[in-house]
Amino acid sequence: MPSNRQVNINTESVDNYLKAILALGGAEGQAVSSTALAERLGVAPASITNMLQKLASARPSYVEYEKRRGVRLSPEGRRRALEILRHHRLIETFLYEVLDYPMEEVHEEAERLEHFISERFEERIAAKLGHPKFDPHGHRIPSLNGQMPKQNSFALTEVREDGAYVVESILDRDASLLKRLNANGIVPGVRLHVKCHEREGFILRVGVRAKTLHLSRESAETVRLRPSR
């Protein structure tokens, strides 16, 4: 007999799990290991397993989960994850463009607010901003109907040749790194000159006379680029 167990999708914990699975699984929706999910959320593996079992047995089910094979979002789970991600990125954009928050502060504020805004409030924010397609960090904002166009970019760590590139997006989870990059003019949309060093990382410069910034390979994983045409 099918389970009638219900999981409250409005809880912060469930939303955070779904959003993390979406981020780790990528556009292809690959299976995500419990270990990767535990590292992302900072939660003990036993707690991860317990929550995934609940999400899988909920009706409707939010994930497809098999022990040792990882977890994927179900269609319903993906819909909810994209809805929360849309809330998050619209709130970030509103805080940055309307309330003049520094770029490095909008992520934490949006993390707190994303679970609680109504659909009407979301619509008002989107209309006020002119229905933006990107947040301040250069990430696409999911559409109202749950579509997420793919961004054709590559991580700075994948660059093998010195040259000029355009910054497409910067991961928003490290506020101190965001502040450092922003102070050096490294923001989405700028043309970035890159010098590669196999062991030391990367030397970055915006403009001919700008100061150079050394970025380790670990930090470089947060910056995504596209070719400069």
pTM, to two decimals: 0.89
pLDDT digits (tens, 9 = 90+) for 64-106: 998 888 999 999 999 999 999 999 999 999 999 999 999 999 9
| pLDDT of res. 221 | 93
pLDDT digits (tens, 9 = 90+) for 158-216: 998 999 999 999 999 899 999 999 999 999 999 999 999 767 799 999 987 778 999 99
Spatial contact of 29 and 23, defined as CB atoms under 8 Å apart: no
**Residue 43 pLDDT > 70:** yes
pLDDT digits (tens, 9 = 90+) for 185-195: 999 999 999 99
Domains of the chain by residue range = 12-73, 154-227
Q: How far apart are CA 8 and CA 40, in angstroms?
A: 22
Q: Which among 100, 212, 196 has a CA at the least distance from the CA of 156?
A: 196
* Sign (positive or negative) of CA dihedral 19, 28, 152, 133: negative
- Which CATH number is 154-227 given? 2.30.30.90
Looking at CATH, the fold of the domain delimited by 12-73 is given as Arc Repressor Mutant, subunit A (1.10.10)
What burial class does residue 129 get, using C-beta atoms within 10 Å of its C-beta: 0-12 exposed, 13-18 middle, 19+ buried? middle
